[in-house]
Chains A and B, each alone.
Chain A
């Protein structure tokens, strides 16, 4: 187990390194510098600016300087948001994105498991078909379609439920107020709910037909106890290995959700940075995303190895 863990951790390091290198050199391939769009500056001032940002040095020296800074967790100054460093911008954005992503994850796992187990218990009956239809819709229709449509229904037209006006705010963060979170979190979680429900249903159907579940039933254990004590454990295990891809999907989805709902998270920084050619900011966000994905994947894999006694990687 330990040797497997060490091997995986050592494997993750080159991956992160490759990501940083690729991202850095891709950004520098770009024709034109970050200051091109502004009014023409006298050459000596331009030279000074370039010097301040180390842009006058050869590329490999810049790369070395960037890595050196990165080793101190310094992502450098933002090219477009003049008074801010990338670290400061990320420090503002990360809590918003993290709250959004974590809430969506919790929602996805809770509803996904619930719906998946229900569908498996009522296999090939109305409840099963209903859940699987919803899942199909959730998987096929992309976030950037569901977000505006749900906004239109719940935000613009508003709903009147039992005499209560439940119109939700369509944009803004409002310091993470509950009603501002509902739409973005739900939109972000919807595809994941669908995928988790499908996954759980498949596993549970298999587990419910296995011999040990039949034994538990045969010895007279009540139905709900069989499901909770015996079937769920094995049925939910494969979910752990889905956590890695789920994180990646949530991060990609957060680009859309943060843009549509105008939330000040790092996803929106990334999109705006890409549109404004704020190289250091884009590079910083990519690195943060990449490290997150690689590390969380690693944790999910290790967790799986710990939880599943059949898996032995030595």
Chain B
């Protein structure tokens, strides 16, 4: 009886050894995919991103082709040779006052908006992580000084400085990325710095030191994986705020220049034409709102999935 019991125990122990423990990331992914809002958001965002990437292939119209025979056409889905607007083919989202197809323009707007979102977020990520990690790692007076600088910059009304920059450099496209990215890195730096500071003092780091793990090993094996969670969450929340900032500038006429377009430009044009051509406002606004929603849901989902306290 006792013998069989211990065999079962041994069996269980062997099984426990062969079943690999789930890593943090597998666990987090499982929880993220169980979150229906986040999962749906990932799917929708992927579709929008793919549509943006393959925009030229999805439409028969070039994004900047002016055609005065189809001025301000309402959205139409089925060809009808008797109607002037349909003569050259259907315009799914309608056309603008110079006859450009709004469907392809909305997708090109998505290209610019998403590109600005990703690039500017990357800029903020690089600056923020390096700055924050340096401050957190060195600590002491250097840390104090570096964080004082962040505090001062925090209290500046940055969007106004971005506007001034755009005015001075005549709406330079690349500068737009850099300017917005340079605005958004402050919070990232704070998050990374706080995280590095708190992890540096944890017992498992000390244990790793005692066990003779190299400095490099501690950084790559222990510090980075623990910092990366909050950083990923914040990145998903930075992208929509960058898209917003770009659209804000473009809406005011200070961002992207014609014939290139972004959602902000399209919404601004749509707002001017909303009495005669409401579709010019509705479609870009819808795309932008859905995208912003998706990023926010994914951010929330990631936070729930990666927060160890929630387990």
Give the contact stretch, choosing among B22-30, B68-76, B150-158, B220-228: B150-158
CB of B16 within 8 A of chain A? no
Contact A144 B157 (CB under 8 A): no
Closest Cβ–Cβ distance, residue B285 to chain A (whole Å): 5
Binding site for B on A (CB under 8 A): 14-15, 18-19, 22-23, 26-27, 29-31, 136, 139-142, 144-145, 147-149, 151-152, 156, 248, 251-252, 255-256, 259-260, 270-271, 274-275, 277, 282, 285-286, 289-290, 293-294, 297
| Partner-binding segment picked from B96-104, B137-145, B189-197, B245-253 | B245-253
Q: Which of B269-293 contact A (CB under 8 A)?
A: 270-271, 274-275, 278, 281, 285, 288-289, 292-293
**Interface flag for B244 (CB, 8 Å):** yes
Q: Does B121 contact A (CB under 8 A)?
A: no
| A248-B156 Cα distance, complex, nearest whole Å | 10
* Complexed CA–CA distance, A112 and B168 (Å): 39
Question: Given contacts A29-B168, A140-B293, A275-B254, are A18 and B152 in contact (CB under 8 A)?
Answer: yes
Q: Are A290 and B248 in contact (CB under 8 A)?
A: no
Chain A residues near B166 (CB-CB < 8 A): 274
CB within 8 Å for A142 and B247 given contacts A22-B161, A289-B160? yes
Q: Using an 8 Å CB-CB cutoff, how does the interface string of B155-176 with A read, 1 for contact, 0 for none? A: 1110111011111100000000
| Contact with A290, one of B156, B240, B271, B292 (Cβ below 8 angstroms) | B156
Evaluate whether A251 and B157 lie within 8 angstroms (CB atoms) in the complex, with A141-B289, A145-B285 already known.
yes
Cβ contacts under 8 Å, A282 to chain B: 164, 167
A129 to chain B, nearest CB (A): 13
In whole angstroms, what is the CA distance A139 to B189 when docked? 24
A297 to B253, CA, bound (A): 30
Q: Say whether B186 faces chain A, with CB atoms less than 8 Å apart.
A: no
Tell me the complex Cα distance, A296–B247, Å. 27
Q: List 30 A-B contacts (CB under 8 A).
A: A15-B156, A18-B152, A18-B156, A19-B156, A23-B161, A26-B168, A27-B164, A30-B167, A136-B296, A139-B296, A141-B292, A142-B247, A144-B251, A144-B264, A144-B271, A145-B285, A145-B288, A148-B285, A151-B271, A152-B274, A251-B157, A252-B157, A256-B251, A270-B163, A274-B167, A274-B254, A286-B157, A286-B160, A289-B160, A290-B157
B168 touches A293 (CB 8 A): no
The list of the 6 closest CB pairs from A to B, nearest first, reads A148-B271, A30-B168, A144-B251, A140-B292, A145-B285, A274-B167
User: Do residues B285 and A149 form an inter-chain contact, with CB atoms below 8 A?
Assistant: yes
Complex alpha-carbon distance, A139 and B252, angstroms? 20
Nearest A residue to B263 via CB reads A145
Interfacial chain B residues near A142, Cβ < 8 Å? 244, 247-248, 288, 292
Identity of the chain A residue whose Cβ is nearest the Cβ of B252 in the assembled complex: A271
Contact of A259 with B244 in the complex, beta carbons under 8 Å: no
Q: Are B289 and A145 in contact (CB under 8 A)?
A: yes
Docked pose: A295 CA to B247 CA in angstroms = 29
Distance A23 CA – B160 CA, assembled complex (angstroms): 9
Residues of B at the A interface (CB closer than 8 Å) are 152, 155-157, 159-161, 163-168, 240, 244, 247-248, 251-254, 264, 267-268, 270-271, 274-275, 278, 281, 285, 288-289, 292-293, 296
B281 contacts across to A, CB distance below 8 A: 148-149, 152
- Which chain B residue has the least Cβ–Cβ distance from A285? B160
Q: Are A294 and B167 in contact (CB under 8 A)?
A: no
State the main secondary structure of chain A at its contact with B: helix
Q: Report the separation of the CA atoms of residues A156 and B257 in the bound assembly, to the nearest whole angstrom.
A: 29
**Contact status A289-B157, CB under 8 Å:** yes
- Contacting A156 at CB < 8 Å: which of B152, B157, B244, B274? B274
B278 touches A152 (CB 8 A): yes
- How far is B274's CA from A136's CA once the two chains are assembled, in angstroms? 25
Give the nearest-CB partner of A252 in chain B.
Answer: B159
CA distance A80 to B256 in the complex (A): 25
B285: chain A residues within 8 A (beta carbon): 145, 148-149
Q: How far apart are the CA atoms of A293 and B160 in the complex, in Å?
A: 12
Q: How far is the CA of A140 from the CA of B300 in the complex (A)?
A: 13
Q: How far is the CB of B174 from chain A (nearest CB, A)?
A: 17
Are A148 and B159 also in contact (CB < 8 A) when A18-B152, A136-B296 are?
A: no
Q: Name which residue of chain B comes closest to A14, CB basis.
A: B152
Give A31 to B166 CA distance when docked, in angstroms.
12
Neighbouring A residues of B167 by C-beta, 8 Å: 30, 274-275, 277, 282
- A277 CB to closest chain B CB (Å) equals 6
Do the beta carbons of B165 and A26 come within 8 Å of each other?
Answer: yes
- Determine the distance from Cα of A260 to Cα of B248 in the docked complex, in whole angstroms: 12
Q: How far is the CA of A141 from the CA of B253 in the complex (A)?
A: 19
Q: Which chain B residue shows the least CB distance to A142? A: B244
A248 touching B157 by the CB < 8 A rule?
Answer: yes
Bound-complex Cα distance A228 to B269 (A): 48
Contacts of A18 on B, CB cut-off 8 Å?
152, 156
B288 cross-chain contacts in A, Cβ below 8 A: 142, 145
Check if A148 sits within 8 Å of B254, measured CB to CB: no
Max count, chain B CB within 10 A of own CB: residue among A248, A274, A290: A274
A259 to B271, CA, bound (A): 11
Task: Specify which chain A residues have a CB less than 8 angstroms from the CB of B165 in the assembled complex.
Answer: 26
Given A149-B285, A248-B157: 7 more A-B contacts, CB < 8 Å: A152-B274, A156-B275, A256-B251, A256-B252, A259-B252, A274-B164, A282-B164
Q: Determine how close the nearest CB of chain A comes to the CB of B257; give it in whole angstroms.
A: 13
